[in-house]
Amino acid sequence: MTIIKKRLMNQNLLQNIRKHIDLNHNETLILFKYIEQRNYKKKEFVLQENNICRNLYFVEKGCLRMYFINEKAIEQIVQFAIDGWWISDVKSFINSTHSDYYIQAIEDSKIISISIEEFDRLLNELPKLERYFRIIMQKELAALQFKSKLMYEMSKEDFYKYFCTSFPEFVQRVPQYMIASYLGLTPEYVSELRKKM
């Protein structure tokens, strides 16, 4: 695959990186050596429970969800990722341990992945990307903490309304029962709230 084609396919990734750090032409070429693009069909698994998560995944186009199955055999969604977002079981990725999660495509998706081995080599060859990944991880941690706070301090109805107004693209692209799972609500309750709204 030519570099020009690869660059066209990875526009969201490059835009995302350039929001935080500058990459010149040569550095972009270095990045392209280490990443791989994969296509996933709707409902196809990117990662399954008990496998080791060997990659970080960037959604170039599409939508993914990460979930586990709780003791009542119910899916509990912990993260969504749409165009321009990263997703991975970070614990499994860092420690090479078996994952507790599934990552699945909600719609046909183009995903850019980087393996743990390639990730280390990339950061050695292009150290400025350390800053980019630190910023991404910090933002993800801050968002997770904020979500936890809102879950405790808001009513279920207000939490749902907050999510709908803050993330309208998810509401349009993700099935209602999945949003309910992510927010810790029942599909029936979300259906009632939607009727109210």
More confident residue, 178 or 193: 178
Q: What is the DSSP letter of 149?
A: H
pLDDT band at 193 (very low <50, low <70, confident <90, very high): confident
Q: What is the pLDDT of residues 6-15, one digit of tens each?
A: 444 578 899 9
Q: pTM here?
A: 0.89
Please name which of 119, 133, 80 lies closest in space to residue 103, comparing C-alpha atoms.
80
Position 131 scores a pLDDT of 96
**CATH class as words, domain 3-151:** mainly beta
Q: What is the structure's pLDDT at 9?
A: 57
How many whole angstroms separate alpha carbon 120 and alpha carbon 132?
Answer: 14
Domain boundaries, the chain: 3-151, 154-197
Residue 89 contacts residue 18 (beta carbons within 8 Å): no
Rounded to whole angstroms, how far apart are CA atoms 31 and 193?
45
CB 56 within 8 A of CB 114: yes
